[in-house]
Structure 1
Amino acid sequence: INGWSAQGLPAWSVGFVYLPALVLLSLLSSLTAPVGARLAHRLPVATLKKIFAGVLVLLSAKMLHTVLG
């Protein structure tokens, strides 16, 4: 709603939402979700926790680099 009146947005935008990206992300998420669910059921819990912790560390490092760099 905030972006509905914003100027200079690309074509195919509804506010700050770019519709082609929304459709592509929706399709790819629908196709890869079963693969991720199968992988999550196949891996041990300890391994999943380590992978999740690694992703959180990488994301926080990127956020810190963006803010401080």
Structure 2
Amino acid sequence: LGYIYNGWGHANLPPWSMGFVYLPALVWMVPASMLIAPLGARLAHRLPVSTLKRIFACVLIALAAKMLWNFFS
């Protein structure tokens, strides 16, 4: 709701947006999240903590590498 409120009336927003929320993306992301979230929760309870920490560290390293790549290119 905050993104809708704060973005309401801003210029140069794409069509089909409500504030800073792009409605076509919202329509696809909500059902996908609802379907995948239980799978992720089940997986998180089954995997050992050390494996989860390694996966999370790899995701953070990949995101940092992408941010650095975008910054310097």
Please indicate the TM-score interval, normalised by the length of the shorter structure.
Answer: 0.7 to 0.9
Provide runs of 4+ in structure 1 moved above 3 Å.
none
What is the CA–CA distance in structure 2 between the aligned matches of 1:45 and 1:13, rounded to whole Å? Answer: 40
Unaligned runs of 5+ in 2: none
Unaligned runs of 5+ in 1: none
- Corresponding residue for residue 22 of structure 2: 18
Q: CA RMSD in A?
A: 1.4
Displacement of 1:61: 0.4
- Corresponding residue for residue 66 of structure 2: 62
Q: How does 1:4-43 map onto structure 2 within 5 Å?
A: 4-43=8-47
What is the CA–CA distance in structure 2 between the aligned matches of 1:18 and 1:11, rounded to whole Å? Answer: 8
What is the CA–CA distance in structure 2 between the aligned matches of 1:67 and 1:4, rounded to whole Å? Answer: 29
Instruction: Considering Cα pairs closer than 8 Å and 6+ residues apart, tell me whether 1 or 2 has the greater RCO.
Output: 2
What is the CA–CA distance in structure 2 between the aligned matches of 1:57 and 1:10, rounded to whole Å? Answer: 32
For normalisation by structure 2, the TM-score amounts to 0.82
Q: Which amino acid aligns with 1:37?
A: A
